[in-house]
Structure formats: structure tokens, C-alpha cells
Amino acid sequence: MKRWGVSALALVVAALLVRYSTFTVEAGEAAILTQFGKPVATITEPGFRWKLPGFLQRVNRMDARTEVFNTQPIQLLLGDKNPIIATTFIAWRVADPLLYFRSLARPEVARQKLGDMVVSALGASLADYALEDILNPDPKRVKLEELERLVLHATAPHARDKYGIETQRIGFRRVSYPAIVADAVYNRMRAEREKEARKYRAEGTEAAARIEAATDKDVSQILAEAYKQAEIAKGRGDQEAARIYAQAYGRDPEFFEFLKSLDLYRAALTEKSTLILSTESELFKYLGSSKPRGGRN
């Protein structure tokens, strides 16, 4: 019975020894093993590990995955003295666990340090940009991506060398105007849009005038050509009528003179007209005889 008690106690001691002398590093984790507060090992690969039991050695774990956080909104001054309010996001991860542990240790401290570095670099970089480079209705004139690259290049080496942090991406989450300058900016943007609208209207009016002038020219050419063709047709008709008239007149000149006289009588002798003629008048020669000259019945 006594032997069984000793064996059970040995098993308990062994279990406790294993429990407090081993640890596991998960995927996406890094760990710093310290002995009396001094780092003695850096573990970056997941798996099962041994350590000295109890308080002799301690496991300090840290998340080695990429983390993204937003900085606090801050008002900064541009190179043209216009203020803006900017909020950025920062993507980072622990690249050197030992340096990170010695300099920061906690993620909230890392966020504060990174945020301060980014805001400082952003404030310095904005001195080379005007408001139209940051906020502009024309996407081609916005230089936010260029500014993000500048801030990343300015902060990434320092963050890695001093804190063991890899800064993967820095970007703008929001950019806005302070309330004090919003109205002035909106008025300027409205004036620019009105100027552009006037330009488009002027171009439209000019294009309409060109189209109208071209149309008038085409109409004039068409009318001139139509008049020309009409005159040609009319001349040909007159020529053909004269030919037919001459041909018909040549067959019986006396008869055609009689017809012409009738036309003259019709034109001269209206309903209430009085006509005094000599019997020798050429106009009277057909009125005095019931037969036309030439013996025609």
C-alpha cells in the first residue's frame, strides 16, 4: 500500500514537472523565453518546447500576424497653408521578436509608437503638397498614393531598426476639411465647376454656329443649283415652244394673225370699254368682215 502511494506521488510530481516544463507555440505566434527576466531563447516556429520549470523560466508570447489599426484623426497643415483632418491606417507585424520584446513588449505600445511616427512623417511630407493635390474632383490630380509611399518609406526603416516592426502598408482612411474652411473650399469648387460649365457652353455655341453656317452654305448651294437647273429647263421649254410656234405659224400665217387679233380684242374690249377705230385700222380688219381673209369659211 505504501509503495502504491509513493508511485502515485511520483506520477503527480512528474505530471506537474511536465506541465510546468513544457509549452506550445501556435501558428502565427512568436515567443521569447526569459530566465529571471532576461531573454534566453527566441521561438518563431510553431511546435512543442521544453523549459525550466516554474518561475525559473517564463514564456512571453506575441502575435506575429499582420495587424491593422487606425490612427486618431489629426489636423495637419499643407504647403499652401490650408488645414486638413486626416485619419490613416497602418498594417504591421512583428519582424524581430527579440527586438520588439526589448523595446515595446506590448501591442498597445507598438500602436502608439507607430502612430506617432506616421503622424510626424505625414506632417513633414504635407509641406510639399497643396490642397488640390489631396482633395480634387479630378482623380488624376490626387496624389494620395504618392504621399502614402513617401510616409511608408520614411517610417518603415526606423520602425524595423528600432522596434523590430515591419510596416507593411500605410494609407489614408479619411481626409476632410476643418469646419472653418469647408465653406470656402466648397465655394471655390463651385466656382471651378461653373467656369468649366461656361467653357462647355461656349464650345457648344461655337460648334452650333459652325454647323449652322455649314448648313446655310449647303442650302445656298442646293438652291443655286436648283435655280440653275430650273432656268435651263425653262430655256429649253421656251426654245421648244418657239420652235413649235414658228413651225405652226409657217403653215398658215393668216390664221395665226387672226388668233392673235382675237387675243388682242379680248384684252382690249372689257365689259364697259369703248373703242373708236378707223375702218382702215389693222385692228379693225377682222371686225368688218364675217370671213377671215384668204377665203377660209
Specify the amino acid at residue 11. L
Only one residue has cell 400665217, namely 253
- CATH number of the domain bearing residue 120: 3.30.479.30
Asked whether residue 79 is assigned to any structural domain, the reply reads yes
What mean pLDDT is predicted for residues 238-249? 78
Angle made by CA atoms 152, 72, 70, in degrees to the nearest 5: 55
Asked whether residue 238 is assigned to any structural domain, the reply reads no
Same domain, 14 and 59: yes
What's the pLDDT score for residue 24? 87
Range of the domain at 29: 2-63
User: Which helix or strand (DSSP H or E) is residue 76 part of?
Assistant: strand 74-77
Asked whether residue 182 is assigned to any structural domain, the reply reads no
Same domain, 55 and 140: no
Evaluate the CA torsion angle 284, 288, 293, 297 in order and state its sign.
positive
Same domain, 161 and 91: yes
Cell of 233: 429647263
Q: What percent of the chain has pLDDT over 70?
A: 76
What's the pLDDT score for residue 297? 41
Asked whether residue 223 is assigned to any structural domain, the reply reads no
Asked whether residue 277 is assigned to any structural domain, the reply reads yes
Q: Distance between CA 259 and CA 193 in Å, rounded?
A: 82
Same domain, 114 and 161: yes
Same domain, 108 and 166: yes
Question: How do strand 38-43 and strand 29-35 relate by DSSP bridges?
Answer: antiparallel
Which of 63, 93, 110 marks a domain boundary? Answer: 63
Of 178 and 120, more confident: 120
Q: How many CA atoms lie within 13 A of 61 on its CB side?
A: 11
Which of 176, 203, 219 marks a domain boundary? Answer: 176
Q: What are the tens digits of pLDDT across the range 151-170?
A: 999 999 999 999 999 999 99
Same domain, 155 and 58: no
Asked whether residue 188 is assigned to any structural domain, the reply reads no
Asked whether residue 197 is assigned to any structural domain, the reply reads no
Same domain, 46 and 124: no
Number of domains present in the structure of the chain: 3
List, edge to edge, every strand of the sheet that includes 38-43: 38-43, 29-35, 57-63
Q: Distance between CA 89 and CA 223 in Å, rounded?
A: 72
Average pLDDT over the chain, rounded to whole?
82
Of 223 and 184, more confident: 223
Same domain, 26 and 89: no
Same domain, 71 and 52: no
Same domain, 88 and 146: yes
Question: How do strand 57-63 and strand 38-43 relate by DSSP bridges?
Answer: unpaired
Asked whether residue 116 is assigned to any structural domain, the reply reads yes
**Which DSSP string do the residues of 128-150 spell out, in sequence order?**
G--HHHHS-SSGGG--HHHHHHH
